[in-house]
Amino acid sequence: QTVVTQEPSVSVSPGGTVTITCALNSDSVSTSHFPSWFQQTPGQTPRTLIHSATTRSSGVPDRFSGSIVENKAALTITGAQADDECDYYCALYMGPGIRWRFGGGTKLTVL
């Protein structure tokens, strides 16, 4: 079965840089998976930060960036702020059948 893997938790100091990755157990992540990244604070709806691997959604600060590095999708936060502390999910497009697979989520701590 296809599994999408993220780091369960990461931490960063205020003002620091952190990268969260999104990997497939059965393949390399590429642009054909249209990698997306979502931010979710407790009790809230997921918000799209990045889509199509590198495109920032409207209104998203430019400290959030997306890339594909070493066969994984990556979300990098540069200049982390306290209110960036929440959960982050990636999603990969898998094709006409099982359309999307989400990663298990990464809990970001800013300390």
Partner 1 sequence: EVQLVESGGGLVHPGGSLRLSCAASKFSFSSFSMNWVRQVPGRGLEWISFISSTSAMASYADSVQGRFTVSRDNTENKLYLQMNSLRVEDTAVYYCAREGTWITFGGQGTLVTVSS
The Cα–Cα gap between 36 and 4 comes to 12
Nearer to partner 1 (CB atom), residue 21 or residue 36: 36
| DSSP 8-state secondary structure symbol assigned to residue 83 | G
Which positions touch partner 1 (CB under 8 A)?
A: 34, 36, 38, 45-48, 51-52, 89, 91, 93, 96-105
Nearer to partner 1 (CB atom), residue 20 or residue 91: 91
Judge contact between 91 and 82, C-beta under 8 A.
no
Nearer to partner 1 (CB atom), residue 76 or residue 94: 94
Distances (CA, A) of 94 to 20, 35, 60, 91: 20, 10, 25, 9
Minimum Å distance from CB 77 to partner 1? Answer: 19
Minimum Å distance from CB 34 to partner 1? Answer: 5
